[in-house]
Amino acid sequence: MQKMKKLAKYLLPYRFAVAAAVFLIFLQCLTQLLLPDLMARMVDVGIIEGDIDYIYTMGVYMLIITVFSMIFSIAANYFTSKASAGFAKLLRKDLFDKVDYFSLEEFDRFGTSTLVTRTTNDVSQLQNVIMMMLRVVVVAPLTFLGSILLMLNKDVTLSLVVLAVVPLLAIFVYFVSRKIIPSVQEMQNQLDKVSRILRERLTGVRVIRAFNKEEAAAKQYEAANDDLTVVSLKVNRIVAILFPGMLFLMNLATIALLWFGSFRIETAGLTVGDMMAFIQYVTMIMMSVVMISFIFVVIPRAKVSADRILEVLNTNELIQDSENTVLFENKNQNKNENKNINENISENANENTNENANENANENANENANENIISDIPAVEFKNVSFRYSDSDKMILKDISFSIHHGETAALIGGTGSGKTSLISLVPRFYDVADGIVYVDGTDVRDVKQSDLRQKIGFVPQTAVLFSGTVAENIRYGKEDATDAEIWKALEIAQAAEFVENMEEGIQSYISQGGTNISGGQKQRLTIARAIVRRPEIYIFDDNFSALDYKTDADLRYALKTEIKDAAVLIVAQRVATIRNVSKIIVLDNGEIVGIGSDTELMETCSVYKEIVESQSGSMTENGADGGSSAGEGDNTDGDNTDGSSTNGSSTDGSSTDGSSTDSDGNGSDGDGSADNDNTDAEVTE
Ligand SMILES: Nc1ncnc2c1ncn2[C@@H]1O[C@H](COP(=O)(O)OP(=O)(O)OP(=O)(O)O)[C@@H](O)[C@H]1O
């Protein structure tokens, strides 16, 4: 009941349409009830007594009533449609808004397919039920009671005989409908399953083709489809019993009526017209019982849909803005004040020292400021952070502490599943920590509005996601009012300007759904441009550069470095070569930080890091020895080689040879890459 109340509020704005519909259906129902009596009189007076005028008069009355009935019915349908469609519109909107604010925890819990089915199919189910209920709720009881009263008015004994069948019908309907409810629930779940498999198969079509898995995919879909068919058939079998069963009972009532009616005509003076009216009343009574029983079929379905919808609407997002959110501005103000104070202090201090020393100190300070840290308060700081997903007890991150300042770049490296993506998801507060605190600009991320927090962050997820629309529209996801010039600048930094220029309509070129008409690397670059266009204070890249060839990767990082000097950058990387020049490398192993430092430091102190480096140069050696021809591995090899020669010459002496052996594969582009990389890497070096 509580549930129904919650859903009824969506009908509230359409209460006038509902009231009008109910009133019109009521009128239609009354007109229907008048007809049998008019017909009875027509037969008894007009036909039996041969009064033609009376037949005409009654005929005209009946015609007028029927026309009115039709008008009422059409108008009622208009209002019921208006109310039910409006209800569905509001409900869909609320569902969408709700889901829009779900944190990733809720998406993980529900899954995308069921959220789609709940917002579409389940809402349509409720819409249909409302349409039907508005009619049935008025028609069924009114017809039922009206017919009984009119019948009793004509012949009480005969009425009682006929009415004896009604409880039989009611009991039959009750038992059948009880069987339907669980099957309907199961049917809805199977429908979810089919749509989930369909979605997976369709989005993964390339993988399926590449691995010749069409048959397996078809089999999996077939199995789910079969399950759905089985359970749908089960429901329909019950429905199939229900209606003939009811018709049988209705016919039984009519036979009983004719049998006993004929006696009543002989003995109690029942007229033929009344007998015919009786038959119509019985039909109307049975029809109203059928209508009510139909409710029993539809309501369980609607209940399942309502439950599924309410489950979404009643979900409390695990991540919500706290009641007393603070503004970053305050912090920044403090920060600036602190900065001013520091500047004053250093000015005073400078005045008191000798001039030469002063100049040197200033130069050093400026260099440091330009290259590295801009303010004392870290842009991102993890303090003893532990984290686990809500559906599991296993701690994915354990006691993580590190910080990144504005103007600083840090790289996160570690094996697959070591927790890199989980870690960076905590910065924009996609998830909440289990323990410890994540600070952004010195403020606990739980203390600020999520929108304020995310405004500061340019997050590029691991999987490149583009929406159907133009390149410009996709980039403007990052900044709604970005000018064309800003978009081009972002594209330039993301190394995407060239290929967008070559597209027929430049930034107005259309990207099809999911970005299927551009390459993986191009897609990735557009998502990077989308983050850059908003000029955030913090950039987070989740292993986005591995989809790029090494030259583009290096060019992009160089452009980033020169264009976004003040921002803090956190890069998740798989290819060690791409981050070896970063001064702060954070090594993650099994959810724990096992080393923080520069490449040189880590090579000496961190066995996990050394292992990662060696494993990647190891694969290089194998490639070299085997004359490996994989383009991807070739890229990697070049990368390591370049990096090795520019930063760690001694330790990667071996890779130098590997590099040349890969080049000797005749991979021209690799050769190019390494030449450019030598340059760029030197410049990227922090
Ligand atoms: N939504 C989730 N719910 C439950 N567990 C998850 C979820 N996402 C990831 N995990 C688990 O958390 C662990 C860390 O995963 P994470 O994606 O953070 O690793 P990663 O280092 O980014 O891996 P990769 O380099 O392969 O992207 C894994 O064991 C994974 O199974």
CA-CA-CA-CA torsion for 358, 363, 366, 368, nearest 10 degrees? -110
> Can you give the pTM of this predicted structure?
0.63
Q: Decide if 11 is inside a domain.
A: yes
Q: What is the pLDDT of residue 40?
A: 87
User: Do 113 and 162 sit in the same domain of this protein?
Assistant: yes
User: Do 526 and 651 sit in the same domain of this protein?
Assistant: no
Q: Tell me how far apart the alpha carbons of residues 457 and 438 are, in angstroms, rounded to a whole number.
A: 14
Q: What is the pLDDT of residue 438?
A: 94
Helix (H, G, I), strand (E, B) or coil at 459: strand
Residue 604 has which token pair? 């000496």
Task: Give the CA count within 13 Å in the CB-facing half-sphere of 257.
Answer: 25
Task: Judge if the beta carbon of residue 396 lies within 6 A of ligand 1.
Answer: yes
Task: Judge if the beta carbon of residue 397 lies within 6 A of ligand 1.
Answer: no
Q: What is the pLDDT of residue 349?
A: 42
Residue 568 has φ and ψ, to the nearest 5°, of -90, 140
Q: Decide if 452 is inside a domain.
A: no
Residue-range definition of the domain harbouring residue 494: 463-535
What is the 114 CA–ligand 1 centroid distance (Å)?
A: 22
Q: What is the pLDDT of residue 404?
A: 93
User: Do 488 and 349 sit in the same domain of this protein?
Assistant: no
User: Do 364 and 475 sit in the same domain of this protein?
Assistant: no
What residue ranges of the chain have pLDDT lower than 50? 330-371, 619-686
User: Do 258 and 351 sit in the same domain of this protein?
Assistant: no
Q: How far is CA 304 from the centre of its chain?
A: 21
Task: Judge if the beta carbon of residue 417 lies within 6 A of ligand 1.
Answer: yes
Q: Tell me how far apart the alpha carbons of residues 265 and 274 are, in angstroms, rounded to a whole number.
A: 9
Q: What is the pLDDT of residue 620?
A: 44
User: Do 529 and 618 sit in the same domain of this protein?
Assistant: no
What is the 399 CA–ligand 1 centroid distance (Å)?
A: 17
User: Do 36 and 183 sit in the same domain of this protein?
Assistant: yes
CATH code (residue 63): 1.20.1560.10
Q: Decide if 554 is inside a domain.
A: no
Q: What is the pLDDT of residue 663?
A: 34
Domain termination site, one of 478, 507, 535: 535
How many CB atoms are located within 10 Å of the residue 338 CB? 14
How many CB atoms are located within 10 Å of the residue 107 CB? 13
User: Do 350 and 261 sit in the same domain of this protein?
Assistant: no
User: Do 281 and 332 sit in the same domain of this protein?
Assistant: no
Ligand 1 pocket: which of 387, 421, 586, 590 to mutate (most atoms within 8 A of CB): 421
Q: At what angle do helices 668-684 and 653-663 cross, to 10 degrees?
A: 140
User: Do 270 and 151 sit in the same domain of this protein?
Assistant: yes
How many CB atoms are located within 10 Å of the residue 525 CB? 29
| Number of domains the chain is built from | 4
Q: What is the pLDDT of residue 374?
A: 55
Task: Judge if the beta carbon of residue 103 lies within 6 A of ligand 1.
Answer: no
Q: Decide if 97 is inside a domain.
A: yes
Q: Tell me how far apart the alpha carbons of residues 138 and 155 are, in angstroms, rounded to a whole number.
A: 26
Task: Name the DSSP class of 378.
Answer: -
CATH code (residue 528): 3.40.50.300
Q: Decide if 406 is inside a domain.
A: no
What is the 422 CA–ligand 1 centroid distance (Å)?
A: 6
Residue 69 has φ and ψ, to the nearest 5°, of -55, -40
Closest to 192 measured CA to CA, from 110, 255, 253: 110
User: Do 261 and 134 sit in the same domain of this protein?
Assistant: yes
Domain termination site, one of 475, 506, 535: 535
Task: Judge if the beta carbon of residue 393 lies within 6 A of ligand 1.
Answer: no
Residue 651 has φ and ψ, to the nearest 5°, of -70, -20
Task: Judge if the beta carbon of residue 414 lies within 6 A of ligand 1.
Answer: yes
Atom of ligand 1 nearest to the CA of 462: 27
Domain termination site, one of 535, 565, 593: 535
Q: What is the pLDDT of residue 481?
A: 85
Task: Judge if the beta carbon of residue 422 lies within 6 A of ligand 1.
Answer: yes
Residue with CA closest to ligand 1 atom 9: 422
Q: What is the pLDDT of residue 191?
A: 82
Which helix (H) or strand (E) is 542 found in, with range? strand 538-542
User: Do 104 and 207 sit in the same domain of this protein?
Assistant: yes
What is the 387 CA–ligand 1 centroid distance (Å)?
A: 11
Q: Decide if 492 is inside a domain.
A: yes
Q: Decide if 255 is inside a domain.
A: yes
Helix (H, G, I), strand (E, B) or coil at 482: coil
Q: Tell me how far apart the alpha carbons of residues 409 and 598 are, in angstroms, rounded to a whole number.
A: 11
Task: Judge if the beta carbon of residue 416 lies within 6 A of ligand 1.
Answer: yes
Cβ proximity of 560 and 536 under 8 Å: no
Q: Decide if 418 is inside a domain.
A: no
Cβ proximity of 445 and 439 under 8 Å: yes
